[in-house]
Chains A and B, each alone.
Chain A
Amino acid sequence: MAISADPLNMIICGVGGQGNILLSGMLGSAYIKKGYYATIGETFGAAQRGGAVFSAVRVSQKREYGPLIPEGKAHLIVGLEPLETLRLAHKYANPQTVCISNVYPVTPAGVAANREKYPDVDEAKEALADVCAQTWFLDATSIALDLGAPIAMNIVMVGALLGTGQLSLTEEDIKAELRESLPPDRLELNFEALSRGMKTVA
């Protein structure tokens, strides 16, 4: 399968602790194994949980692209948290962008303190659907909680992403990456998370 654009510009965004870096690394590594160039730029700064984190993943057959995507040039936005999906869509979306997002919010401090208002998730979905070519929404956190492992939310999201057919990667490609990056006793759970994610979107 060929990538849908070259370079293919992906944004993966969320908050610290959601497994953003692992996710972008798995995708990058899977593409490199297929002979592509892949570059990942990561913005995480201070290592604390709770801060906004995003990765730019750029895949190409032609050459190595830089680690940052020009404004408005994302083909695919993968949001692990709805507010972050909005933040990154505002900077990188265009009318051809496709977007998949978790809808489970992680409350920022200003909202937790009732100083700021968290966007209404239904309105957010509507706004995203309005500016993107195609959108998918799922509650990946609740699926992961249901599996007894909130940490597996990112894998549910990869599953969903596979389900959208936007990746030009197969379930087996992702499983191979999981085998490389996770201890054997965590595999079954993560394969299940992957499959649950795929089913949600397919």
Chain B
Amino acid sequence: MPNLAQLSAGSYNLLQGNEAIARGALEAGVQYCAAYPGTPSTEILTTFASVAREAGLHAEWSSNEKVATDAALAAAYAGLRSMTSMKNAGLNVAMDTLQHINLATLGDQGGAMVVVVADDPQSHASGDEEDTRWVAQMANAPLLEPSNFQEAYEMTKYLFDLSEEFRIFCWLRDYTRLAHARGRVQVGEYKKVKKTARYDSSKCFTPYIAPPKHAALVEKMAKIKDRFEESRFNSYEGPENPELLIIASGSGVPSSRDAIEELGLGSQVGLLKLGTLWPFPSSLVLSHVAKAKRVLVVEEVDPFVETHTKEAVADARLTNCPEILGKGSGHMSYVGENNPDRVIAPLSRLFGTDYRARDPKYQEKLDATIGKMVVSRGLIWCPGCPHRASFYAIGNAIKRDGRHAIVSSDIGCYTLDAFPEGTQITSVLHCMGGGAGEACGFGQLEQFGLDQPVIGICGDSTFFHASIPALINAVYNKSDMTLIILDNSITAMTGFQPHASSGQTATREVTNTIDMEALCRTLGCRVEVKDPFDTKATSACLQELLKDKGGVKVLILRHKCELLRMREERRHPYKVWVDTEKCRGDKCGFCYRVLRCPGIRYDKETGKARIEEALCAECGLCADLCPSKAIMKEERA
């Protein structure tokens, strides 16, 4: 990753969308940045953290998005420029604060606040395809959606100025194909900012009492709408009176451009790129719609632009109004992400071109040969991952207990248990904190006849994020449940961010460590701690906890993430090999069928298990558990 504070003014750089946003914020003078990791937004704060010292920034991994938002708001109140960034699901956590800010304003110290929300169309790394743009409308926040890397950078800078001028927070919509894509960005000048924080405590900034403040906000938004009608972030390319006008935002812009070029429709199809989405620049849109024969709206995920375009057309009572096509008409899909093919298909339908990506005969050959060879590659825990040991032990305890325990799990690498290659003991899976919260609820249903033991699962970072209130509720309202905290000492899934019990901050400074064990004890829980690689002891302990009717139990399964351990220690703990004499191959298959570790596989030549040298972490789990004692391990000196 390039050092974002050291790019020279005017230079062209290959930047990830998230890096472009961070560079824009740096140039705009951001001083306070707070976030909770969440794909695809994580790299924004990672970038700030990596330059925090030289740039004089505060960059922190907060315990959740709500806390991060509150903290960034405080910095703006104190006259600084602040940013918080989050994934789509994180927005749901931060909503309470965001909904209030613009009623209360950002105070009178000249501060500014930009919120970046990274959506994840196609759910590459999310539980849903939530389109967060509606929320900007709901929160009365000006919303910009970049269509490329340069815009991501420029819009971020612009939004800080807009935020300061109108004293409201502004919203940048990020999304996977921008956040996790890279492209060319010409950067401007960056100068370190040393603004002093101050706050006039004689004032009180609050949304209370809302109606007059709401009225003032509505007026501000009307002014910003006028600004957006003329914005440089909206532009048109194509013929004066197009047969088809595409109105596109975000990833819809490059997809549409590529599709128009692919089909050679440049003289017939125009493209109106919208960057300012809320307040919606309805006059601008109408002026283009009026010149077109038909209109197609291309955006990701919901029909946000499409709905507002239709609203604008209805309000204007256009005579000879062209047809507005898009998701509503079935030309575009409500589901999934954009790509050129997604626009090529409706365009070729509308223009009657017989577009085929490939010659049908060639396609047939591809399907018959290569297509038949391809097999799936499911997501699975890394070799040496402690979750493999944990879920094996938990599964065993549930089996021995025999009462069909309910397992409500959470968001982290352990989510993979519910995926096809997992052990699939997970019975409920929603969101951050959901594991503990749903376990709390199931644990109160005995009075209605539910006679299964209840297990909630969360990770260490998830515990601090949203599980603690659920645990408090479980103790307070007398739920009978066991919370298993899979403590691998890091926020692993998003790329190894430290958290409240890691002992270091986002900028790698040593800090206070929250003792989760002591915290759970203080709440009144029975707490046990085990190393999941000791599967027998873990399993026995959990079986006993499931029988304990004494209230809320907590089992901490503590073992460092293997990727992190390997980074630190740079050596395998054991030497591991298969004794092919003893291995019973497919008659058993325990290591490759039950443990499903990528480090070991069925070898069709010998008919036995075989260590995959390039992958095996030599953690020794398969050696400990092999029913035939055919896998050997030896401690490395």
Contact = CB atoms under 8 A, between A and B. Distances in A.
Interface of A: 15, 24-25, 28-29, 32, 37-52, 63-73, 83-84, 86-87, 89-90, 93-95, 104, 106-119, 123-124, 127-128, 130-131, 141, 145, 150, 180
Interface of B: 2, 12-14, 39, 124-125, 148, 177, 180-184, 251, 253-255, 257-259, 262, 339-341, 344, 357-359, 362, 365-367, 369-371, 373-383, 413, 416, 421, 492-495, 563, 586, 589, 592-593, 596-598, 600-602, 604, 612-615
A84 to B, nearest CB: 8
A157 to B, nearest CB: 15
B14 A38 contact: yes
Residue picked from B2, B182, B380, B413, most chain A C-beta under 10 Å: B182
7 contacts: A28-B14, A39-B254, A42-B182, A71-B341, A71-B358, A145-B613, A150-B614
Contact of A113 (B125, B602, B612): B602
Contact of A127 (B184, B370, B382): B370
Nearest to A112: B601
B412 to A, nearest CB: 10
Contacts of A127: 369-370, 373
Residue of A70, A111, A118 with highest tally of chain B CB at under 10 A: A70
Contacts, number: 209
A123 B373 contact: yes
Contact of A109 (B253, B367, B378): B378
Q: Which of B375, B495, B586, B597 has the most CB atoms of chain A within a 10 A radius of its CB?
A: B375
A67 B181 contact: yes
Contacts of B251: 66
Contacts of A42: 180-182
B358 A111 contact: no
Contact of B12 (A32, A44, A72, A86): A32
A113 B421 CA distance: 10
Contacts of B604: 114
A114 B593 contact: yes
B598 A38 contact: no
A61 B234 CA distance: 24
A83 B375 contact: yes
B183 A38 contact: yes
B128 to A, nearest CB: 14
A94 B183 contact: no
A112 B602 contact: yes
Contact of B374 (A38, A70, A119): A119
Nearest to B356: A72
A113 B181 contact: no
A90 to B, nearest CB: 5
B380 A70 contact: no
A109 B255 CA distance: 34
B416 A48 contact: yes
Contact of A38 (B184, B255, B340): B184
B511 to A, nearest CB: 24
A25 B182 contact: yes
B600 A112 contact: yes
A56 to B, nearest CB: 9
B13 A32 contact: yes
A113 B593 contact: yes
B183 A67 contact: yes
